[in-house]
Chains A and B, each alone.
Chain A
């Protein structure tokens, strides 16, 4: 691969210790290299530095489960998990997560068995159009891992960054409560 400053790089030469390469290739019109683990699979990428984590997942890794809603951090459809916590991939520049490990909706089911929250969303009919659902489920996984919510009020408050225009909120809360009771 030839970057705009004329230097030559090959994806196989890039790794986690790639800060110097990031700098070397980070010219104004250049691309940046990063190594990122998504759902347990390590990827080495050359990206425009403007690429958000969301666009990286959808356009470069074909992981289209993570949705682009508002693209401004207001709807939560793009929520993914980093270090077990929900973050907004639309407001995250991919290059800033060089070396990180990301879990997306595609990484939650194991061996063909749905994650308990995915199953609970099915059991409680916690969606209609489904567009917000991957973000809702990722936020709910983070919420349960963080352990801050016990009551329905607390679930609603900590899930307030995920908008559902179909209005499935009561069923979403019920689905989360089902999994919290199992835990």
Chain B
């Protein structure tokens, strides 16, 4: 780890002033991803601005029924928050599927959003990586790519976004609230994270001098028909090979509205609005779900070691849509897949 200048912000305004004065500085909250990357010399910030004591740690319901989640609420507090458990159970489930209890106790919601999209080569400073060093090449394309992306890849990067929380937020159509020297703005969840394209060094569309202050959830939480299904190499504490978050609205056995997003398959949580629209008005059965899965995966492309993910994703989508339709969401403690 290279040395850095440390300062602690006592207000949002001070945090913004500090980062404006030093645009190479990085904000630190829980630090679970940043400190690890600094130890590996992947991240080398000359200065850290500690935002962990800013008053951004509340979960509040707006008069219109929206939920505002402060950026510094830790992952475990959000997962166990009574309003989240009751109204947005897919978010609670996804949070509890991620990391370990210690990491959930440390990691902030804002940090979960901003954790790096990454792969083993991103961590290995002895190898080329376009995300770490623009233009140096992608080692995963011809290397070990078993966990790499199958959707939305580019010739420059095939890393996946590892968050579970973000897959649920994609389904919930959350908004990211950010503040910077040009004022406040709300960013639709679908527009927050980026595909790698020609600039894999950028994971998201937040500017370096902007601070995430919170997340806003719309009123609708799919509290009856939902699931978060995570398929991974170990039963716990492992990144997803494929995960699926689902929210459905059913009426008389037919689908009124369907949303589903995939994790572990792309540079960002992956939604396909055409596949969702194709579910609308259809009977909630396996044939319908298989057609939706095929629509999503029509554009999937495997690499040397990860073509298995295409079939795994297809089965996981069908299983997750079934779990949601039957009202039998995946439990995160009993790992039997119902």
Contacts and interface: CB of A to CB of B under 8 A. Distances in A.
A86 B8 CA distance: 24
A134 interface: no
A160 B334 CA distance: 13
A160 B28 contact: no
B102 A49 contact: no
Interface stretch (B30-38, B132-140, B161-169): B30-38
A161 B102 contact: yes
Contacts of A95: 6, 50
A139 interface: yes
B6 A161 contact: no
Contact of B101 (A26, A50, A98, A142): A142
Given A76-B100, A87-B105, A88-B102, A26 B39 contact: no
Contacts of B46: 28
B6 A72 contact: no
B39 A72 contact: yes
Contact of B4 (A50, A71, A154): A50
B36 A73 contact: yes
A52 B35 contact: yes
Contacts of A72: 36, 39
Nearest to B123: A72
B103 A26 contact: no
A73 B103 contact: yes
A86 B74 CA distance: 13
Which of A50, A86, A91 counts the most B-chain CB atoms under 10 A from its CB? A91
A156 interface: yes
B191 to A, nearest CB: 30
Contact of A48 (B3, B8, B100): B3
A96 B100 contact: no
B192 interface: no
B333 interface: yes
A20 B255 CA distance: 59
Interface in B193-252: 235-237
B32 A91 contact: yes
A153 B32 CA distance: 26
Chain A at the B interface: SS class: mixed
Interface residues of B, number: 35
Contact of A139 (B102, B235, B332): B102
A71 B1 CA distance: 13
Nearest to B236: A160
Given A19-B10, A85-B105, A91 B36 contact: yes
Contacts of B105: 85-87, 142
A92 interface: yes
Interface string A40-52: 0000000011101
Contacts, number: 104
Interface string B1-33: 101111110100000000000000000100110
Interface string B71-109: 000001000100000000000000010011111011000
A95 B3 CA distance: 13
Given A19-B10, A154-B333, A161 B4 contact: no
Contacts of A32: 6
Contacts of B5: 26-28, 49
Interface in B31-76: 31-32, 35-36, 39, 46, 48, 50, 52, 76
Nearest to A71: B39
A72 B335 CA distance: 26
B236 A157 contact: yes
A154 B101 CA distance: 12
B101 A92 contact: no
A110 interface: no
B52 A86 contact: no
Given A26-B6, A28-B46, A96-B50, A50 B80 contact: no
26 contacts: A19-B8, A23-B7, A26-B6, A26-B7, A27-B5, A28-B5, A48-B3, A49-B6, A71-B39, A73-B32, A85-B105, A86-B105, A87-B106, A92-B31, A93-B28, A93-B48, A95-B50, A98-B8, A139-B102, A148-B80, A153-B334, A157-B332, A160-B100, A161-B99, A161-B100, A161-B237
Interface of B: 1, 3-8, 10, 28, 31-32, 35-36, 39, 46, 48, 50, 52, 76, 80, 96, 99-103, 105-106, 235-237, 332-335
Closest 10 interchain pairs by CB? A161-B100, A160-B236, A160-B237, A49-B6, A154-B333, A157-B333, A153-B333, A85-B105, A86-B102, A26-B6
